[in-house]
Chain A
Amino acid sequence: MGQEILIEAIRAKLGPAVEGIADSYGDLVLILRPEAVRSALAALREMPFDYAVLLDLTCVDFAAGQGRLELVYHLYSLSRNVRLRLKASLPAADPAVETLVGLWKNAEWLEREVFDMFGVRFEGHPYLRRLLTYEGFEGHPLRKTYPWRLGQPRLPLKDDV
């Protein structure tokens, strides 16, 4: 499938869910409306697009300038050997998006990580709990507002200065 035909097909399939299409160093980037993330990814997972692998999910904090968090999904199609990047912009004050659990099995941990690091709520996630930090950790470390060196020890440390 050529790039133009692919974009055409995606536009036809997803319709208004796609806010924009861009190209980043040879990778196709789709900008999605946040409320359509789950349905759009579910459609892209099926034929003829066949993006069967959820390669990665992460988030970027643009809260300082734009007041937004940007979710970044990476999909990979084994049959066509191409990658696709999808972005969805969420308000930084109360970021929430529908979960992908049920579509991909690794989504559970990936979303827990993003919740832990950025505080994005994934609605419908069965077990949204901190993954890399621990219960009792306050704040979300990868937010730009979180100080780089602010540790939160779990037990009293000696000569803490």
Chain B
Amino acid sequence: MEPLTRIQREARPESMLINMGPSHPAMHGTLRIMLELDAEKILNAECEIGYLHRGFEKTCENKTYFNLLIYTDRLNYVSPLINNLGYVMTVEKMMGVTAPERAQLIRVLMSELSRVSDHLTCLAAMAMENGAFTVFLYMMKAREFIWDVIEFTTGARMTTSYIRIGGVRADLHPDWRGSLATAVRETRKVLKDVSGLLDKNSIFLGRTRGVGVMSKEDALSYGWTGPCLRSTGIPYDVRKAHPYLVYDRLQFEVPVGECGDNYDRYSVRMREMEQSLRLLEQVAALIPDAAPLGGGPAIEPAEALARSRLQRADERVRLSPNLEGSEKERLPGLTAPDPLVGVPAKEDTYTTMEGLISHFLFFMSGKGIRPPKGDVYFSVEGGNGEVGFYIVSDGTDKPYRLHLRAPCFHIVSALEQLIKGRFVADVIPTFGSMNMIGGELDR
């Protein structure tokens, strides 16, 4: 027999207790809200989380710094590249490594793409739960165009593991400008359509205006960050407050809301997407075209392997620039020169003894990336707010402790307060506008 929960203990005998979730379409599968109701009115609420607790932090303690990157993809799975970035930059801060300029620009490009896809998904789900199914279909369409750009370059749609310690995995796809232009154009079109569908829609306004109002003081007390905090009128954005990468050189505004209700959270996200699209165009203009590869005709990988058995293969090996491995000549622009942080070039690994040894040294247990002893906290602006990593290193190749500061953990902890005294129907838009992501909330 489980002990009674707080709401069960405190409930009045005449009121009704009802359970929402975890398997409820609007609860995103992983949140359970217990409600004490007087007819439709919510007298008391209690959230139970942890239905997607996957042991991320414990797993990371048993993986090397290089190998645990894939787990960071699956934290906020709507914007995996930002999680990669947060983790990678935390380790880089410990090791004192800076990514090259081109890699930094690519990282900004990727994080802004992820941010747009994050906001699109959040608003799509929110609108769908409020009955606007058309918006859902439109926004998913725009997200597919965004994911096309990501997929061309990284080779995967979602779980990319593209941003690596020291730089990025590979250079941009040769045709990235075209796909990016399509994505920006299509997303702008969708944003305009969605704006037209929702901004003055009385059903949508009725369910969002004045519902789930958060005051500035409470938002700070709950540790809110990101679009939800900005919707209350506080212009805190990690990209502005603690600029990382090249954000201090780019022009963008931080949109804020007025009263912190559901509508403000929606409108802040809409305006933020416009700013992100603006950033994408600026960054695209800043990234120079990749220099053409020089030095004679390239040979096929199989031929390079065959030759390396007989003689030292000095010819350039033809590898796909983004899916199978980076071309060696491009690597200096993409990863830091430090030989201990990046995976050695595939061409060298396959064809030279030194390359093979450095490959072994990188991947052997006990070797590889070993940050100095100490602890570090670093954060980036994720789709939901401040994504912070706290890493304690004991000097070995595995983190002693890795903790994620998940933005939506703090945001969802305010849900109980926001829905108290409202109606059952208000739970849906309030919760939808918070953008709860299970992987990040429960880790």
A interface vs B, CB < 8 Å? 24-25, 27, 52-56, 58, 60-61, 72, 74, 78, 81, 83, 85, 104-106, 108-110, 117, 127, 129-136, 141-142, 146, 148
Contact = CB atoms under 8 A, between A and B. Distances in A.
B403 A56 contact: yes
Contacts of B58: 141-142, 146, 148
Contacts of B49: 131-132
A108 B413 contact: yes
B93 A133 contact: no
A129 B50 CA distance: 12
Contacts of A54: 223
B401 interface: yes
Nearest to B414: A105
B400 A60 contact: yes
Contacts of A148: 58-59, 61-62
A157 B403 CA distance: 31
B21 to A, nearest CB: 15
A53 B234 CA distance: 13
A58 B390 contact: yes
Contacts of B405: 55-56, 74
Nearest to B401: A60
Given A56-B377, A148-B61, 17 more contacts: A24-B375, A25-B374, A52-B221, A54-B223, A56-B223, A56-B388, A72-B375, A85-B377, A104-B223, A105-B221, A106-B221, A106-B222, A106-B223, A106-B414, A109-B413, A132-B443, A146-B58
B377 A135 contact: no
Interface residues of B, number: 43
Q: Among B61, B223, B377, B388, find the residue whose CB has the most chain A CB atoms closer than 10 A.
A: B223
Given A24-B376, A56-B390, A58-B390, A134 B50 contact: yes
Contacts of B94: 25
Q: How would you classify the secondary structure of chain B's contact residues: helix, strand, loop or mixed?
A: mixed
Given A25-B374, A56-B388, A58-B390, A78 B50 contact: no
A148 B414 CA distance: 31
Given A52-B220, A83-B377, A25 B93 contact: yes
A24 B55 CA distance: 27
Interface string B190-220: 0000000000000000000000000000101
B236 interface: yes
A133 B377 contact: no
Interface in B390-443: 390, 392, 400-401, 403, 405, 409-410, 413-414, 417, 442-443
B390 A72 contact: yes
Contacts of B59: 148
B241 interface: yes
Given A108-B413, A133-B50, A142-B57, A55 B222 contact: no
Nearest to A134: B50
A31 to B, nearest CB: 12
A55 to B, nearest CB: 6
Nearest to B240: A81
B377 A106 contact: no
B2 A135 contact: yes
Contact of B3 (A55, A104, A135): A135
B53 interface: yes
B221 A55 contact: no
